[in-house]
Amino acid sequence: MMIKGVLEHAGYKVGYFNSPALIDDREQISINNILISRNDFVATYYEILNKLSPDESTKISVFEWWTLIMLVYFANKKVDWAVIECGLGGTDDATNIINAPEYAIFTHIALDHIHILGDTVEKIAKAKSGIIKYGTKATIIAPLQQKAAVNIIKEKCSQAQVPLILSDDIAKIKVHNRKINIIATDFTLESSFSLLGEYQRENLKTVIALVKQLMREKVLISLMPLKQMLETIKIPARCEKIASLPDVLIDGAHNPDAAYNLAQTIINLRHGRRVIMILGFLKDKNYQKMIQIYQEISHDFILTEPDHLQRKLPVAILAQNFNNHVMQAVNVRSALKIARQNAKPDDLIVVTGSFYLVKDLINDD
């Protein structure tokens, strides 16, 4: 989202593809923050359908349909740039149908979707590295990667003759009181910055690495688009504060790596306050490890279920992972009501476990 923001502020027409959607499925496809219209979605769907045989159309998965519609829609609208987030991994992901991306960018590689991508960081890195292809201008890796993952990506870059950029030491970043100070080797930048979360600094280093590459290629001619992005960026359900007195944060962390990052953010924000956590998970996630992480920072839990009929972890099973008595709620709104009833104004309430859990609280009042 930061990358698309920089390009948009530079004046480009930018298509954006990401998942999952939080409120409206059409959030997955947008151009300059405007969702694909219902009419355009239907028209693009039939444009593709009319070129397929009946047998072919029935073999396409839902995500593959979204990917096809996105690619045709962006082509029809003649976007300057398309920022495309992979669904699962890289090699076998539907988005990997494109010949070669201009840039292949890797956020932190962690154990997630292990039933599909593999049960080690090495296997997952190998799957993800499939987006690196001959003709890609550069590959950029987010900081703090495991050495094994970096080595696998290095090897794929060498095979595809693609330059590799490591963003660990690209800049020093300090954030305090919603202000950010960036000190790079060739520039300094100060700006307002509203995103919470320690991991956002690491994400930003990755963005800065890309910005410097784009400036070398004259795609960007100044740092102003970066500054404007920093001043305006908002990412729903990523350490998003939705209420005060008590503060309520929502975060879609759904794997142990993300849970650890969230826990570190909570530690930095709590300032001695009691932390009440509302948890709900999908049953195919490593929720046991996430629970262990959260039990190190809180003793107050309210358990509930995400809004996903097939994949939700029943709250009764979730409760079995706690030694002490925990409160339960039928849904996330009921859980938040219970938390507020039991909280003091200076407490901190955190809702997390799945995007399917926190999405019902987006724009909550």
- For the chain, the domain total comes to 2
For residues 284 and 197, membership in a common domain is answered with no
**Strand partners for 15:** 31, 82
User: Domain boundary residue among 184, 202, 232?
Assistant: 232
Rg of the chain's alpha carbons, rounded to an integer?
21
Residues in CB range of 228: below 8 A, 6 or more apart: 5, 9
Give me the domain span that covers residue 341: 240-361
For residues 202 and 299, membership in a common domain is answered with no
**pTM of structure:** 0.90
Give CB contacts under 8 A, 24+ apart, made by 121-124: 121/146, 121/148, 121/149, 122/148, 122/149, 122/152, 124/89, 124/149
For residues 122 and 263, membership in a common domain is answered with no
Which pLDDT score is estimated for 363? 62
What CATH number is attached to the domain comprising 18? 3.40.1190.10
Three-state DSSP at 70 gives: helix
What CATH number is attached to the domain comprising 311? 3.90.190.20
Write the pLDDT tens digit of every residue in 210-223: 999 999 999 999 99
| Residue 81: exposure state from Cβ atoms within 10 A (0-12, 13-18, ≥19) | buried
User: Domain boundary residue among 197, 232, 267?
Assistant: 232
Single-letter residue type at 202: E
Do residues 133 and 124 touch, judged by C-beta distance below 8 A? no
Closest-CA residue to 266 (of 242, 280, 250): 250
Do residues 111 and 124 touch, judged by C-beta distance below 8 A? yes
- Spatial distance between the Cα atoms of 327 and 291, rounded to a whole number of angstroms: 15
For residues 177 and 83, membership in a common domain is answered with yes
For residues 10 and 44, membership in a common domain is answered with yes
Q: Interhelix angle for 224-232 vs 199-216, to 10°?
A: 150
| Omega before residue 314 within 30° of 0, cis | no
Which pLDDT score is estimated for 13? 99
For residues 228 and 245, membership in a common domain is answered with no
Single-letter residue type at 313: L
Which pLDDT score is estimated for 120? 84
Which pLDDT score is estimated for 198? 76
For residues 246 and 228, membership in a common domain is answered with no
- Spatial distance between the Cα atoms of 57 and 9, rounded to a whole number of angstroms: 38
Which pLDDT score is estimated for 326? 92
Which residue ranges in the chain fall short of pLDDT 50? Answer: 365
Write the pLDDT tens digit of every residue in 302-330: 999 999 989 999 999 999 999 888 999 99
For residues 205 and 255, membership in a common domain is answered with no
